[in-house]
Amino acid sequence: MRKPLKLPTTFGKFLDQLNEAGVETASARAFWGGVTPDGEIVVTSWTDSNDGNGCFYIWRPNTNHGGLRTAWEVGNIRPGAMVRLILLRQRGNVSYGQNKRSVAGAALMPGKWRVAKMMPGHPKTGDALVEPV
């Protein structure tokens, strides 16, 4: 049985969290993660997009900001792949699964996360599930 997930107590600016994770950018606009110069993959998920067991759903982005879409296309995001996870807190009260959300805060989760399962084409449960290592 997995230990309960300890969530961060503070959420900061999304741009700061991307930069802290190693994604080189001067703006977080249209970013959903990225690939660092060392090839480390950084993904994002909303705090409420989880399976209830400490795992989070991630989506393949429509744009290639930060190189994340290319990482999906070439198969670098696959079961067993190690990633860093940034949790996003939404601004306002838009229901889960709607595309009109905006980021109010972000927190880089400690340690590594592993892609546990691929689920392509599931709009409400993401394209993959990541779990803490």
Q: What is the pLDDT of residues 48-57, one digit of tens each?
A: 888 889 999 9
Q: Distance (Å, rounded) from C-alpha 83 to C-alpha 111?
A: 9
Q: What is the dihedral of CA 64, 44, 78, 72, to 10 degrees?
A: -10
Q: Mean pLDDT highest for which of 14-18, 27-31, 92-96, 116-120?
A: 14-18
Q: What is the pLDDT of residues 66-86, one digit of tens each?
A: 999 999 999 999 999 999 999
What's the pLDDT band for 1 if we cut at 50, 70, 90?
low
Distance of CA 32 to the CA centre of its chain: 7
In degrees, to the nearest 5, what angle opens at C-alpha 15 toward C-alphas 14 and 18? 85
Q: What is the pLDDT of residues 92-112, one digit of tens each?
A: 877 665 667 889 999 999 999
